[in-house]
Chain A
Amino acid sequence: MKKLMAFFLVVVLLLTMAAGCAKSQAPVSTPDGQNQTDQTDSKTDSNDSTDNEISATITYLTSQPLYAKNSDAINEELHKVHPKINVIIEHISDNYEAVLKTQMASSNAPDIFSWQGYLAMVPFVEDNKVADLSNESFDSIVFPNFLESGKKDGRQYGIPTIMQSLGLLYNKDVFEKAGITEIPRTISALKEAVEKIKAIGVQPFTSGLKDQWVCYDLFWFAQTPVMDDMMGWYNAMNEGKASFRTERTEKMFELFDFIYENSGDKPLSSDFAEMCHQLAAGTAAMAVQGDWAYEETQKIDPNANLGMMGLPVSEDPAESAIMADSAEILFVSEQSENKEAAVAFIKWMLSKEGAEYLGSITKTPSTSSLKPVIELNPFAADANKWVNDGNKAVPFAWNFWAPGIMDVVGKNIQAYFSGSITLDEFFEDLDNQWAKTVN
């Protein structure tokens, strides 16, 4: 028995070595389900890696569905520069955290994964789960101010790769038909616009509130544009000295109520996809969401005339804001046996060719400082213009939320709108949850 096992092991070893020397780096899979890819790759990696000829198959867990969808094409493009790196791109929607955590806890983390930066990445850094990329000189290919989001104590862990923006999406044709010539920048202007839209028989807003993440996206707007110092607030929250409830966040709920009331019969049954469809079809005029909505709108009408503007948050037009921040912040697992290849791949994503190619898929801006030329989707283009014109733009609030608060915010927003909790309970619960998580 033992002899047989030994013999078997030798055969496997020889096979892996042979595979390692072979040209083809396609994953070796055998029908009986034994996976030898990993071993093969690590072997090759340590044996004959040179700067241009890194050879490995790496896994990449992305939050960007379009990458996974275009996985084959991305590999093809990547092979022009790194012929021997294969990347398996995976995207999961609902179970992202669960899957990532289970994989990590069991030493199966993907080589590259996407996560939030700033405070959200701290647990990973403290537990030594993510590789320190400080010496990989990303500052030469990424705008330095973007890199801040992936830094902790001066060390670089996360690499933000794209820019995303969130604002008030609208259908320009509907606006024109309703005779709205200037975009509303104050709440009263918004209310006027809503009346005009109603007058032509179009639903003013479409909500998407069935999806919990759309709910917390909405809540960002209650917070960030009306708060100056997120970091200070975060620290005060941890000491139990601050609250989600401020006069201004409370005031924002009047606006939310207004949006909710004008979002048709069943705002809580409308999910993100339906929101996009209504917007594109022109059956609804506005929605609070991000530039990533573009892809879904295309399915209904590729020629829909869409755009993004800031959300009016008060009677001061200068406060009307969009949110823009870096996203798809990539981390390399400390456990990874293919770090070199992983870094090479991220660098390719941010190179001029790589960023241009990926940009042609997502149609959103890259964080690359190498001036890639990317044709932006109408939302991203408007957001870009908004910022360049010197209007107010604020960062994403979720990077400054205690872990786990996101889900609570999403659920509580739903509960609030469905009438099962009051605003008092809403805020009280959030503060309690925060205190609980921090302890």
Chain B
Amino acid sequence: MANFALTGLFNKFYGVVIRKGDLLMNLSYRKKLKDLSSLLLFIAPFTVLYIIFLLFPLVQGAFYSFTDWNGISSNVRFIGLANYIEAFTNDKRFINSLIVTGKYTVATVLISNVVGLGLALFIENSVKIKSMLRTLFFVPYIFSLVVVGFSWKFIYTKIATNIYQLTNIGFFNLDFLGSHKIALISVIFMSVWHGMGYYMLIYIAGIQSIDQYILEAATIDGASGWKKFRYIKFPLLMPSVTICVFTCLAGSLKVFESIFVLTSGGPGYATETIAVNIYNEAFGSANLYGYGTAKAVVLALIIMVVSFIQLSYFKSKEVEA
């Protein structure tokens, strides 16, 4: 039974029409068929779940982006590209959220990676306490974003004020979450704090995989520490950089939970990223679900394009050791 159905699938995929007789005779063909059926059997559980619980709702969601559905009503009206046009021509807030997301992403990606890499280099050198440092710097990453967001809210408001009262250091009296100039920086700081350990780990692994002989050879040739880093370590670390920047980029472009908990996009619109903006439009009292999903589709496209460019550019910079 199962094989029969699979033959059909196979035919469809390869565009081949075969008669029963051929099937029995053609041995290599039988092998291919067997390969395909075992492939399908092995991927079936994951793929079926993937299609049902991810692709299907996703396509449905994308469909809503062409409608004016409000998320409640049973009336769904098809309005073509109107939502998309609206988003780019008549939505200052969306444009603002694009800018905020851009700033957030650039800063988070840069700082997380520079600090993560720097820390990795330092830790790699600190032979005696290496594993302890590695373990502990990673700890923030295991907390959920909700927990992290609430904790930092507490720190930025209550604890900072308290430190100021005790020490009188002006820095702690800054309006971390209330000033539209500082709030985004506070958010970025929290994100870096939470995620940096992850990048640090990957960089440490990258450093460890570098062949020690190359470095020794460079030392013998009289290369300084910086030169060794710039011309040997860094190029060899490019694969790690590629993956870290990719992960950080995609994550930053769709950042939501931590900002939602920490500032809900405020004060005003100062920290309203695309995701927060979409959330507010689609689920806030605004009832614009169709419109919100249109913007989500735009966001998904942005992430895809940016990731693609980043990956192909960084890949081209990688060297073989």
Contacts and interface: CB of A to CB of B under 8 A. Distances in A.
- Answer yes or no: A and B touching, Cβ < 8 Å: yes
Interface of A: 94-95, 97-98, 101-102, 104-105, 123-124, 126-129, 209-210, 212, 265-271, 274, 403-407, 411-412, 414-421, 429, 436-437
B286 A127 contact: no
Contacts of B280: 407
Interface string B218-248: 0000000000000000000000000000000
Q: Kindly name the residue among A209, A265, A412, A418 whose own CB sees the greatest number of chain B CB atoms within 10 A.
A: A418
A266 B75 CA distance: 46
Contact of B175 (A101, A266, A403, A420): A266
8 contacts: A95-B283, A128-B74, A129-B72, A210-B157, A268-B266, A417-B267, A420-B270, A437-B286
Contact of A123 (B177, B178, B287): B287
A415 B180 contact: yes
A418 B178 contact: yes
Interface string B154-182: 00111001000000000001011111100
Q: Kindly name the residue among A267, A268, A407, A417 whose own CB sees the greatest number of chain B CB atoms within 10 A.
A: A268
B180 A403 contact: no
B268 A269 contact: no
A267 B266 CA distance: 13
Given A101-B72, A406-B285, A266 B268 contact: no
B178 A403 contact: no
B116 interface: no
A414 B267 contact: yes
A415 B271 CA distance: 11
Contact of A407 (B70, B161, B286): B286
Which 10 residue pairs of A and B lie closest in terms of their CB atoms, listed nearest first?
Answer: A415-B268, A268-B178, A404-B286, A98-B283, A269-B178, A414-B267, A418-B180, A418-B267, A414-B268, A266-B175
A415 B267 contact: yes
A269 B177 contact: yes
B74 A127 contact: yes
B285 A404 contact: yes
Contacts of B175: 265-266, 268-269
Contact of B266 (A212, A266, A403): A212
A104 B268 contact: no
A268 B283 contact: no
Given A265-B173, A269-B175, A418-B270, A403 B157 contact: no
Give the size category of B's interface with A.
Answer: 35 or more
Given A123-B287, A127-B74, A210-B177, A420 B157 contact: no
Contacts of B267: 209-210, 268, 414-415, 417-418, 420
B264 A212 contact: yes
Given A104-B72, A418-B270, A403 B285 contact: yes
B288 interface: yes
Interface of B: 70-75, 90, 92, 156-158, 161, 173, 175-180, 260, 264-270, 272, 279-280, 283-289
Nearest to A412: B268
A23 B284 CA distance: 42
Contacts of B180: 415, 418-420
A416 B268 CA distance: 8
A270 B260 CA distance: 17
A94 B150 CA distance: 13
Contacts of B73: 123, 126-127
Contacts of A412: 268
A407 B284 contact: yes
Nearest to B180: A418
Contact of A403 (B156, B161, B287): B287
Contact of A267 (B178, B269, B285): B178
Contact of B287 (A269, A404, A419, A420): A404
B87 to A, nearest CB: 12
Given A268-B266, A274-B157, A404-B287, 12 more contacts: A95-B283, A102-B283, A123-B72, A269-B175, A407-B285, A407-B286, A414-B266, A415-B267, A418-B179, A418-B268, A420-B180, A437-B286
A411 B268 contact: yes
A266 B178 contact: yes
Contacts of B272: 411
Contact of A411 (B74, B173, B179, B265): B265
B141 to A, nearest CB: 24
Contacts of B74: 127-128
A101 B272 CA distance: 22
Contacts of B286: 403-404, 407, 437
A228 to B, nearest CB: 26
A401 B282 CA distance: 18
A101 B289 CA distance: 10
Contacts of A271: 157
Contacts of A128: 74
B177 A420 contact: no
A102 B283 CA distance: 8
B72 A124 contact: yes
B165 to A, nearest CB: 12
A265 B157 CA distance: 12
B268 A420 contact: yes
B249 to A, nearest CB: 27
Contacts of A124: 72
A414 B285 CA distance: 18
